Amino acid sequence: MTATTDVAPPSALLDELASWAAALRWSDIPPATRELAQSQILSNIAAVRASARHPLGRRLVAAFGPPDQRDPKSAAFVLAALAILLDYDEVSYVGHLSASGANVVIAYAAELGLSGRDAVTAVVAANECAARVTAATILGPFFRGQTNTHCHLVGAAVALLKARNASHEEWVSGLGLALGILPTPVHDAVLGSDLKALTAAAPVRMALDACDAAAAGLTGNATLLDGPDGLLGQLSTVYMPDAVVSGLGERWHTDTLAFKRFPASAYAQAALECAERVHGAVGPLEPSDVTRVRVFGSVLTWLLDQKVSSHPDGHARSVTAANFSLRYGMAVVLRTGTLRPSDLTPDAIADRESANLAANVVVEHDMELSEKMVRATSPLGQALRQAGRRALDWPELIALGGDDLEGRLLDLGPAEETFENATMSIGARVEVTLADGRVVIETCDVPTGMTGSDTRETHRRLVVDKFVGTGGSADTAALLGSLELLDPTSTADVLAAALGES
């Protein structure tokens, strides 16, 4: 059956989105959404701190300066690079939002005299706009993720424009200029080198330059997002302009934030948590203790593994390859009980025992886990619901497998009107066959920190633990968790302390 293309005509989406973001006030944002944004800032800073202590992070600082340097544009560049370097940043329904929006706000807070409320409001505005533009393009090729440069461009531009209280003309031109040149990372270069950090940092710098150009009077294309030949049409297989503005002020994408316990992809968190439980049950495992490790996951987990394991050098190819490698992460957790940023250094990656155990790990697609995944809000369920029959034009839908795709698609029901009860279900089942014949099985449908009711209750504690685990103080974490109470001077002081304390 041919999919329908019943979509709204071009309507200057950029103008509508900019008008909404410019008018957004603290009081417009639901309390639970504000609290998640404050946890996002703290978690993001923890990711920056962890990366800054990594050998690659130290090289980035040597090349571009520290994350707390006085020039805010340069600081935002370094912060974005460090935030995403080890995949320890937060994820949302559409991917990685903090690298751009949160870090631009942090970088410019002192110069622009932002109060805590100003800062949180700007972060939420950036989240919402970046998420919506990305949601409108999500039904395209798999695994854009961190390399979704248009997400970083929008997030950085909106964060600065909101923090500056820019005019409407600056908003439209800044976003139009930012999105007019779209960097396209080469995925094999990302996996085979140290490029990944720059896939966020370079677009952030481009967006900030675009905003400065708009402030000086250069104009951007206000209809850049509109029509099948516009940016959305060029980036997506399924044209979904309605995702940009539908539910503005009612459906908050910030509510879909998830917080990682392990420096690894969101697609790997469930399997790593299973490995953690196995370690807790039987103790440390070395290669001689294990016959085979089978990881059953959704199609996204399986495809993640294929990206790395299909190369002859596997996880040993680069720090980024190890960071993406589920097999390497499983080996480390089974051996040590956890996965830390220090396990992603070149020396750690070269460890032969971890490599030998990783060679015994296999990753298999489990259709039941894929079905559970698409019935949740994130990472695909909402997109498929919002697209409806249009999703039949998405070739990757076939990768989910099974019969009667149209019937199963329609069975998902309508798009969620709010994300107050958003869910993420990227689960896993792990079977470890030991050399003595025992088989240890662990299952995890929703790993700790991922989007859902538990995380809505516990996110503050989770991110405080993450921040303290990188050497930050509990007192600073408490202040960052109460940003809404801080004046501009106190906001600048606590952000500087959070980045600088050891």
pLDDT beyond 90 at 435? yes
∠ CA(108), CA(176), CA(128), 5° rounding?
60
**Fold designation for 261-448:** 60s Ribosomal Protein L30; Chain: A; (3.30.1330)
On the question of pLDDT at 1 being above 70, the answer is: no
- Residue 7 — very low, low, confident or very high, per pLDDT cuts 50/70/90? very low
% of the chain beyond a pLDDT of 70 = 96
What is the average pLDDT score of the chain?
93
**Residues 129, 178: contact at Cβ < 8 Å?**
no
Question: Which segment of 198-212, 268-282, 329-343, 375-389 scores lowest on mean pLDDT?
Answer: 375-389
Question: How many CB atoms neighbour CB 247 within 10 A?
Answer: 17
Lowest-confidence range among 141-155, 276-290, 336-350?
A: 141-155
Does domain 16-257+454-500 fall under CATH 3.40.140.10? My reply is no
For residues 100 and 496, what is the distance between their CA atoms, to the nearest angstrom? Answer: 18
Closest CA to 338 of 397, 230, 411, 263: 263
CA angle 191, 197, 198 (to 5 degrees): 100
pTM of the model: 0.95
Look up tokens 């917080």; give the residue.
259
pLDDT category of residue 444 using cuts at 50, 70 and 90: very high
| Residue carrying the six token digits 């005299």 | 113
pLDDT of 147 over the 80 cut: yes
pLDDT at 450: 97
Res 402: pLDDT: 59
CA distance 417 to 146: 26
Residues in a beta bridge with 441: 431
Residue 225 and residue 137 in contact, taking contact as beta carbons nearer than 8 Å: no
Compute the distance between CA of residue 364 and CA of residue 295 in angstroms, rounded to an integer: 6
Res 266: pLDDT: 96
Query: Checking DSSP bridges between strand 290-297 and strand 428-434, what pairing results, if any?
Result: antiparallel
Buried b (16+ CB within 10 A) or exposed e, 318-334: bbbbbbbbbbbbbbbbb
Give the tens place of pLDDT for each residue, 246-259.
999 999 999 999 99
Mean pLDDT over 324-348 rounds to 98
How many other C-beta atoms can be found within 10 angstroms of the C-beta atom of residue 288? 10
Q: Give yes or no for a contact between 5 and 428, defined as CB atoms under 8 angstroms apart.
A: no
CB 126 within 8 A of CB 148: no
Distance CA 46, CA 40 (A): 10
Cβ contact 12:462 at 8 Å: no
Q: Which two tokens stand for residue 323?
A: 């960071």
Q: Where are the domains of the chain?
A: 16-257+454-500, 261-448
Does residue 201 register a pLDDT over 60?
A: yes
Burial of 470-499, coded b for 16+ CB within 10 Å and e otherwise, reads: bebeeebbebbbebbebebeebbebbebbb
CA pair distance 89, 401, nearest whole angstrom? 31
The reported pLDDT for the residue numbered 347 is: 96
Compute the distance between CA of residue 92 and CA of residue 251 in angstroms, rounded to an integer. 13
Secondary structure letter of residue 396 according to DSSP: G
For residue range 104-137, what is the model confidence (pLDDT) as tens digits? 999 999 999 999 999 999 999 999 999 999 999 9
User: So what's the pLDDT on residue 400?
Assistant: 62
Task: Give the pLDDT band (50/70/90) at residue 224.
Answer: very high
Pick the more confident residue, 392 or 453: 453
In whole angstroms, what is the distance from residue 249 CA to residue 418 CA? Answer: 10
Residues 6+ away with beta carbon under 8 Å from 64: 74, 77, 78, 81
The tokens describing 386, both together, are: 């919002």
* Six-digit token string for 145: 């993720």
Digit-coded pLDDT (tens) for 392-424 = 888 777 766 556 777 888 888 999 999 999 999
Q: Are the C-beta atoms of 348 and 304 separated by less than 8 Å?
A: no
3-state SS of the chain: helix, strand, coil percent to 5?
60, 5, 35
List strands edge to edge, sheet with 361-365.
361-365, 290-297, 428-434, 439-444
Phi, psi of 439 (to 5 degrees): -125, 120
Residue 442: strand pairing partners: 430
In this predicted model, what pLDDT tens digit does every residue of 50-103 receive, in sequence order? 999 999 999 999 999 999 999 999 999 999 999 999 999 999 999 899 999 999
Tokens standing for residue 312: 């002859």
Q: What is the pLDDT of residue 121?
A: 98
How far is 148 from 452, CA to CA, in rounded Å?
24
